Structure 1
Amino acid sequence: MSVSATSRTPLAGRITAAFEDRLRNVPVLIVLGAIWLFFDTRSDAYLSSQNLTNLVLQIVTTAILALGIVFVLLVGEIDLSSAILSGVCATVVANYAVTSGWNLYAALAVGVLLGMVAMLVQALIIVFGVPSLIVTLGGMVVFQGLLLVVLPPEFTVNVGGTDYAKIASEHLPTSLSFVLAVLILIAYAGSRWRDIIGSRSDRTWALVSIGVIGVAVLGGVTVLTRGNGLPFPVLILGVMLIVASYATTSTRYGVHLYAVGGDRDAAQRAGIPVYRMVLYSFLILGACAAIAGVVDASRQLAVSNSSGGGPLMLNAIAAAVVGGTSLFGGRGSVWSALLGALVIGSINNGVQLLGYSPEVQFFATGGVLVVAVAMDVVITRGSLWPRRA
């Protein structure tokens, strides 16, 4: 005899509701811990400071791109073109900064502007009524052609030995890294001041969050600075995450962002500029794509016709979703980009370190993605059981 809906709904509702807000990242952390434990039992080098530093550097590009995708997912849209666009922007920056001898910052500004303009064009088509899946799929093909146009006849630009290459090779001194870490913790504690002086439950959760963030930040800086100091790409990612976190949690823009993703019709009736919020999200994604492309090219010491290709797009989307951002809009956090990238990157790093065959990496990544989306469906539905037709 099957269990009736009336007997299972209250328990199912309580279980799923527990992970809708404050505990949404807990399953991700559990999965990440399990992955680290699995690979650590098979290789003593996996959790060494050197390998953890390599892991973080490997995921920076994915995490930056996933950060932009989070903003698009939060308003209920999707993107398939930003990875190739990152290669286009990186190539344009290389053309100006290396080939033409421009100042690096001026070239970077042009690259970021190009990324934002390209995404703006797509966003305008989307708000006109064309599904974002189709628009960005077409954009991906167009950008693949554009990449071949902006590349020189030899289809590569070497950036080694230039200021461009220093973006990924520079390190922040250890002492300055810890000073910045402390300042970040102070700023985070200040942003939670209202919760600290609020109700008992809010105060408890705020103090727990500050403690967890403190251990993570100081522990991460300790591990990552054991070599030459804090890698500059990690600093770039950290600053972007902090700015994005403040914008989405402590500003009116953040309130509107989640409102549009949660119920677009209700947001429009409340006077929220829905189409403008969609445009803003794609503009942010364009900027993130350009920065991700430049950082990746700086690490690879070159741009080519393969820039922005490979599994980057899939990994970035998977990182955002696995990290806890809903495909249905309105739920998630910018920190999903980091957590999801760590999960995907930890699998890839472990598989490569142990010399497993490539199909193991694909099986594991695909399985984690399917499980994450299934959990998102359960949370969205509010029940562990499928609805009856």
Structure 2
Amino acid sequence: MSERAIILTPRGRDSQMSRCGPQLGNVTFLERPFHPVTLISLVTTALRGRRRQYEARDRLIDLSQSELRLQTTLETLEQQVEERTAQLRHNEEVLRQSQKMEAVGQLTGGIAQRSINESIQLDMQLSEGLWVAEADPNQLESALLNLVINARDAMPGGGRLVVNTANQHLATGATETQGNLEPGDYVVLSVTDTGCGMPQSTIDRAFDPFFTTKPIGQGTGLGLSMIYGFTKQSRGHVAIRSGVDKGTTVTLFLPRFGGDVPQHNPLNVQHAPFAQNGETVLIVEDDPAVRVLVSTVLSELGYAFVEAGNADTAVPILNSTQRIDLLISDVGLPGMNGRQLAEIGRQYRPGLKVLFITGYAEHAAVRGGFLDPGMQMITKPFTFDLLTAKVQEMIRI
């Protein structure tokens, strides 16, 4: 900022000095003699201009500092938002992963107290402080059901069934004998029976699709192959140890989730029975695991239920005096399908309410006019809450 100056010049020199003004800068020339008022006016004007220059400079400095502070604040805020968003996403992912494996003990115990008969002793050996594993909860549930049912079928005369969970670290040497797993931490779930066992030739083919040792009509041969696919998809492994008359142990290795698990207290909600006046549901499903799941939900709600493994078995029940308030049927039944069964059921019982279970795309079936009034559909895999809501909704209609 240039200095302001008032230069007093002799008479006649004002014009000559003024030509030097641009080189001299912010200068005002005052020719002698001059009136004092003129000098005071010029000085006052110069001081006022100088003061305005300083004020403008200060405002520019303040503005520059404010812009700097604002820029810093915005950068800090943006960083905080990014960090908070990342943290929220991380927490959501951790919570989702933890929910997939929380209450494994409740799951295993509940499914195993429903899938076996009184001649089989159930031994739950569940590890405390079980790690969180990465696994799809529906597929894990289906895998456990298949293992429990296979163990039950291997002990027709009764026996002992052990469900075990544990944490295990596999070093490099150990992984080479477990399907070339990556070294690391794993959550291990095993089901052991004291049944008839299997020879090595059967073990070698146990995971082949459609291979089964059960009589025709009593097994699809897809259970263990689906379990194999599930564990591989989860970056884990499944192994079988068995011998003739020495029982069988099937072990699932699921990788440990590596993140931090947020502390949360799941609500322990106890469903009160909703059934009234002996309401009864007919379950028609060829997959024993799904029948167990559906019957478990119905039992917790207080409903009575009747089971059938196929449509041919269900037709006599529908044509009897047995009370049926709702028919729950798989669409893809062997032989007569679920939709055909529903048509026959409505001939015997006009207005029969039907809830279909299917693995097909629900919207495609609905567009094709699959559902009539009083019919609804849920697709596999479904949650307990969804099934509960549908059953309550349809029976109350």
TM range (shorter): under 0.3
Higher strand fraction (1 or 2): 2
Between Structure 1 and Structure 2, whose CA radius of gyration is higher?
Answer: 2
Higher helix fraction (1 or 2): 1
* TM-score between the two structures when normalised by the length of structure 1: 0.22
